[in-house]
Structure 1
Amino acid sequence: MRRLVLMRHAKTESHNLDGDHSRHLTKGGIQDAQDAGVALRALGIDSALVSTATRTRETFTHLGLDVAPHFLDDLYFGGTDTAARLIAATPDTTQALLVVGHAPTIPDLAATLLFASDPSEADGVGGWFPTSAYSTFTFDGSWKDLFGDSPLGYEGTVRRH
């Protein structure tokens, strides 16, 4: 069984003189990421795709996972379809994948995956996905088939604040 964890970055400063891509985590965001990391370490994450934005890189660092991340500009500049394509390209040697990105991409992707099994829950996930929140899905089969007809198990969305 494979596991996919979709996470929105932790709480950030409202602006940065160097632009959106350069926004840093707040002290509360750092603590939220550290708290999330405790739970995520128990999920056996063995691969991570992380946006290149400062806030996602810092979120990943503060999770404290013993995984070498793949930093991808496409997770910052692309949308839901791009993120789905990147996940589908994950090698099948990966059992548990973490994706750290941004809204609206992460909540939209979670809602898309959840819609097949529980449309009413999909609306809730897609409509409210705060910083440091993550949704966890399980499935059998290949990563490339995830966005086809693969039945998913939804383990829930953890909302941190």
Structure 2
Amino acid sequence: MRTLIVLRHAKAAHTTDVTDHDRKLTDRGEQDAERAGAEIRGLGLEPDLVLCSTARRTRRTAQLALPGVETDHQGLIYQGVLEELLELVRQAGPERRTVVLCGHNPGVLDLALSLTGGDFAFPPGAFAVIRTESEWADLSPGDGSLVTHWNPKEH
């Protein structure tokens, strides 16, 4: 059994003086990222690896939510193409039991829906916990089941 946590970056500031890639989290975003991490730990999940976009807001979200967890920053996650995200997860390695992919919409939502066939909202700071019997290398659309979904707007 493997667990994938798909995490969308927390709420980020919209400013004209920085590039999209360099947007930082708002105060609320910082709080929501910490809350998401507390929720993940509260579920008894201990991630082995975080696959994280190189954008500032995703790096900070991962840092606040999952401090101390090995993090691999991948530029492909910023673009959010479903097949590329799935391929990054496939490369996680068989020793990894719980992997987090921290990225952006619509890519993270597309990944979660593709794996589970579910239908749910994915605002900033939300995450989905997906279980699969597949090895990471063999992961394909429809191979996961949604265990839970957390939305900071609802909690």
Pairwise same-fold verdict (TM > 0.5):
yes
Q: Structure 1 residues 101-110 or 9-18, which shifts more?
A: 9-18
Displaced runs of 4 or more, over 6 A? none
Cα distance, 1:18 vs. partner? 2.5
1:111-154 per-residue CA deviation (whole Å, 9 max, x = no partner) reads 11111xxxxxx2x32xx21011001111123101111664x331
Correspondence for 2:87: 85
1:156 — aligned with what? 148
Number of the residue aligned with 1:146? 139
Task: Give the whole-Å Cα distance in 2 for the aligned partners of 1:91 and 1:36.
Answer: 25
For the 8 Å contact 1:45–1:95, the answer to whether it is kept is: yes
In structure 2, the partner of 1:101 is 103
- Distance in 2 (alpha carbons) for counterparts of 1:157 and 1:74: 24
Alpha-carbon separation, structure 1, partners of 2:66 and 2:137: 28
Contact 2:53 2:102 in 1 (8 A): yes
Identity %: 30
For structure 2, the 5+ residue unaligned runs are none
CA RMSD, Structure 1 to Structure 2 (Å) = 1.4
After superposition, give the CA deviation of every residue in 1:38-85 in whole Å (9 maximum; x if it has no partner): 122331111110000000001011114321200011101241111011
Alignment of 1:1-161 (within 5 A): 1-41=1-41, 42-115=44-117, 122=118, 124-125=119-120, 128-147=121-140, 150=143, 152-161=144-153
CA drift at 1:16 = 4.6
Residue type at the aligned position of 2:132: F
Runs (5+) with no aligned partner, structure 1:
116-121
| Contact 1:16 1:22 (C-alpha < 8 Å) held by counterparts | no
**Inter-partner Cα distance in structure 2 for 1:55 and 1:16:** 15
TM-score (norm 2): 0.91
Residues paired across the two proteins, number: 151
Per the normalisation by structure 1, the TM-score is: 0.88
